[in-house]
A and B are shown apart, each in its own frame.
Chain A
Amino acid sequence: MKKFYEQLTDKEQWKGLLMGNHAVARAMLEAGVKVITSYPGSPTPEIAEALNSVPQDMRDYHFEWATNEKVATEVAFGSSINGNMSVVFFKSVGLNVAADSLVQLGLMNLTGGLVVILGDDPGANSSQNEQDNRHFARMSYIPVMEPATPTEAYKMFLEAAKLSKKHQMPIILRLTTHVCHAKELISFGAIGESNGYKAEFDVNNGPYLPITKTVFPLKKKAMEKLDLIRKESERSPFNNIYSPFGCKEINGKKLGIISSSMPALSVMENLDKAGKPVDLLQINFSYPMPEEMIAGYLKDKDEVIIIEELDRIMEYEIKALAFDRDIKCRILTRKTHDDIMGELTSDRTWDIMTGHWPEVFESGIKPVTQPFANPRIPQMCPGCGHRSAFHAIKQALPDGTITVGDIGCHSLGFFEPYNMGEMLLSMGHSNGTAAGLTIGNEKRKVLAFIGDSTFFHAGLPAIINAVLYDHDFTLVVMENGTTAMTGHQPHAGTGEIGEKISIDKVLESFGVKFIRRIDTYQQKKLTEYIKESLDHKGFSVVIASHPCMLKFMKQQRRKEGFVQKHVEIDQSKCERHLTCIEDFGCPSFVKNEDGSITVNEDLCIGDGSCRPTCPVSAIDFKKEAK
Chain B
Amino acid sequence: MKDLNIYMCGVGGQGIGLLAEVMLRACHKAGYDVKGVDTHGLAQRGGTVVSHLRIGKKIHTPLIPSGKANIVIALERLEGARAASEMLDEGGKVIYYDAEYQTIGNRLGKFKYPTHEELEATVKAKNGESVRVFEEELSDPRMQNIVLIKKMIELEWIPGVDTAIVSEALAELMQGKMLEKNLELLKA
Whether B105 sits at the interface, judged by CB under 8 Å, is yes
**Closest B residue to A580 using CB positions:** B107
Q: How far is the CB of A454 from chain B (nearest CB, A)?
A: 17
- CA separation between A378 and B87, bound complex, in Å? 21
Q: A181-B38, A377-B104, A585-B104 given as contacts; is B45 within 8 A of A369 (CB)?
A: no
Whether B94 sits at the interface, judged by CB under 8 Å, is no
Q: Which of A42, A374, A378 is B12 in contact with, Cβ under 8 Å? A: A378
Q: How far is the CB of B58 from chain A (nearest CB, A)?
A: 6
Within 8 A of B (CB), among A219-278: 262, 265-266, 268-269, 272
Cβ–Cβ < 8 Å partners of B172 in chain A: 1
Pair A591/B46 contact, Cβ less than 8 Å: no
Q: How far is the CB of A281 from chain B (nearest CB, A)?
A: 15
Q: How far is the CB of A307 from chain B (nearest CB, A)?
A: 13
Cβ–Cβ < 8 Å partners of A99 in chain B: none
- CA separation between A603 and B34, bound complex, in Å? 33
Q: How far is the CB of B88 from chain A (nearest CB, A)?
A: 8
Q: A185-B34, A367-B68, A367-B89 given as contacts; is B24 within 8 A of A178 (CB)?
A: no
Q: Which of B38, B65, B103, B108 is A346 in contact with, Cβ under 8 Å? A: B65
Pair B47/A377 contact, Cβ less than 8 Å: yes
Q: Which of B35, B59, B100 is A183 in contact with, Cβ under 8 Å? A: B35
Query: Counting chain B CB atoms within 10 Å of each CB, which of A371, A416, A602 scores highest?
Result: A602
Q: A272-B58, A372-B81, A374-B78 given as contacts; is B40 within 8 A of A42 (CB)?
A: yes
Pair A378/B108 contact, Cβ less than 8 Å: no
Q: Which of A125, A343, A346, A370 is B86 in contact with, Cβ under 8 Å? A: A370
- CA separation between A268 and B103, bound complex, in Å? 38
Whether A214 sits at the interface, judged by CB under 8 Å, is no
- CA separation between A17 and B62, bound complex, in Å? 13
Query: Counting chain B CB atoms within 10 Å of each CB, which of A265, A369, A415 scores highest?
Result: A369
Q: How far is the CB of B86 from chain A (nearest CB, A)?
A: 5
Cβ–Cβ < 8 Å partners of A373 in chain B: 111
Within 8 A of B (CB), among A505-554: 550
Q: A369-B87, A415-B104 given as contacts; is B61 within 8 A of A262 (CB)?
A: yes
Pair A1/B86 contact, Cβ less than 8 Å: no
Whether A461 sits at the interface, judged by CB under 8 Å, is no
Q: How far is the CB of B80 from chain A (nearest CB, A)?
A: 11
Q: Which of A346, A370, A376, A416 is B48 in contact with, Cβ under 8 Å? A: A376
Residues of A in contact (CB 8 Å), total 59
Q: A377-B104, A379-B46, A550-B44 given as contacts; is B66 within 8 A of A367 (CB)?
A: yes
Cβ–Cβ < 8 Å partners of A364 in chain B: none
- CA separation between A228 and B127, bound complex, in Å? 59
Pair B13/A581 contact, Cβ less than 8 Å: no
Cβ–Cβ < 8 Å partners of B60 in chain A: 265-266, 268-269, 272
Residues of B in contact (CB 8 Å), total 60
**Closest B residue to A180 using CB positions:** B40
Q: Which of A1, A374, A409 is B105 in contact with, Cβ under 8 Å? A: A374
Pair B45/A378 contact, Cβ less than 8 Å: yes
The proximity string for B residues 72-105 relative to A, scoring 1 for CB distances below 8 Å and 0 otherwise, is 0000001101100111111000000001111111
Q: How far is the CB of B31 from chain A (nearest CB, A)?
A: 12
Q: Which of B24, B33, B41, B78 is A125 in contact with, Cβ under 8 Å? A: B41
Q: A367-B89, A368-B90, A374-B103 given as contacts; is B42 within 8 A of A126 (CB)?
A: yes
- CA separation between A183 and B99, bound complex, in Å? 28
Whether A362 sits at the interface, judged by CB under 8 Å, is no
Whether A347 sits at the interface, judged by CB under 8 Å, is yes
Q: How far is the CB of A606 from chain B (nearest CB, A)?
A: 13
Pair A183/B36 contact, Cβ less than 8 Å: yes
Cβ–Cβ < 8 Å partners of A181 in chain B: 37-40
Q: How far is the CB of B181 from chain A (nearest CB, A)?
A: 12
- CA separation between A141 and B94, bound complex, in Å? 50
Q: How far is the CB of B182 from chain A (nearest CB, A)?
A: 14
Whether A397 sits at the interface, judged by CB under 8 Å, is no
Query: Counting chain B CB atoms within 10 Å of each CB, which of A183, A367, A379, A485 scores highest?
Result: A183
- CA separation between A374 and B109, bound complex, in Å? 11
21 A–B contacts from the bound complex (CB under 8 Å): A126-B40, A126-B42, A178-B37, A178-B62, A178-B63, A181-B39, A182-B35, A182-B36, A185-B34, A345-B63, A346-B63, A374-B78, A375-B105, A376-B48, A379-B46, A381-B44, A381-B46, A582-B108, A589-B107, A590-B107, A603-B13
Residues of A bordering B, CB below 8 Å:
1, 17, 19, 42-43, 125-126, 177-178, 181-185, 262, 265-266, 268-269, 272, 343, 345-347, 366-381, 409, 412, 415-417, 485, 487, 550, 581-582, 585, 587, 589-591, 600-603
Residues of B bordering A, CB below 8 Å:
11-13, 24-25, 28, 33-42, 44-48, 58-63, 65-68, 78-79, 81-82, 85-90, 99-109, 111-114, 126, 141, 171-172
| Other 11 A-B pairs with CB < 8 A, given A125-B41, A373-B111, A585-B104 | A181-B37, A181-B40, A347-B65, A367-B66, A367-B89, A368-B89, A372-B85, A374-B78, A581-B107, A582-B107, A590-B107
Closest 3 CB pairs of A and B: A367-B67, A378-B47, A602-B141
